[in-house]
Chains A and B, each alone.
Chain A
Amino acid sequence: TQLLEQSPQFLSIQEGENLTVYCNSSSVFSSLQWYRQEPGEGPVLLVTVVTGGEVKKLKRLTFQFGDARKDSSLHITAAQTGDTGLYLCAGEKTSGSRLTFGEGTQLTVNP
């Protein structure tokens, strides 16, 4: 059983479209992180959310942490080809505990 379920698993869209990817769990997390991984590279941190209901914006990316701290979403506005990559959510059940990754959403943005 996967602790963090990400959906969709694959997403292929045209440049300029909007999209949302989800990270869901039945467990409560003290914090949740989103990473982006490009082919042949390691994951790179995009954002960390720690407060239930928190919304963080990073240019065209909007991250939300659920009120109950069990789920999170990533919304991308006007996607660009440079947004292509594997988006991973990772949660920490308690501060300093093991970081558990979801399976990722593979996003392809076509020109």
Chain B
Amino acid sequence: EAGVAQSPRYKIIEKRQSVAFWCNPISGHATLYWYQQILGQGPKLLIQFQNNGVVDDSQLPKDRFSAERLKGVDSTLKIQPAKLEDSAVYLCASIGGVNANTGELFFGEGSRLTVL
């Protein structure tokens, strides 16, 4: 089965510009996560969706970050305006189907953002 797809793989922008990342989870996976991974650190949860509803966005900097999953399938994460400290890899992960009870997260390859 196809894995979690993310795009773009790399993005370089200047501070105060905006950027959007796209994620298509594994088919049939109801739960989707966006994580931020700063170099040298572990992933930090930004937002969790269950189908098209938000389950947990307590760690999302809502003044500049937004995310949506309108049809409960693919999702978009937006940053506007970007700050230098937003430079990181943005990982999308999904869970569901036969693995729903195991708790195994399936991650995409990530989108690496550099803010200059």
Contacts and interface: CB of A to CB of B under 8 A. Distances in A.
B45 interface: yes
A42 B108 contact: yes
A102 B44 CA distance: 9
A62 to B, nearest CB: 20
B42 A101 contact: yes
Contacts of B105: 43, 45, 99
Given A31-B103, A33-B103, A98-B48, A43 B56 contact: no
B102 A101 contact: no
Secondary structure at chain A's binding surface: helix, strand, loop or mixed? strand
B93 interface: yes
Interface residues of B, number: 19
A101 B43 contact: yes
Interface of A: 4, 6, 31, 33, 40-45, 48, 88, 90, 92, 98-104, 106
B79 interface: no
A48 B108 contact: no
A4 B42 CA distance: 10
B96 interface: no
Contacts of A102: 42
A99 B103 contact: yes
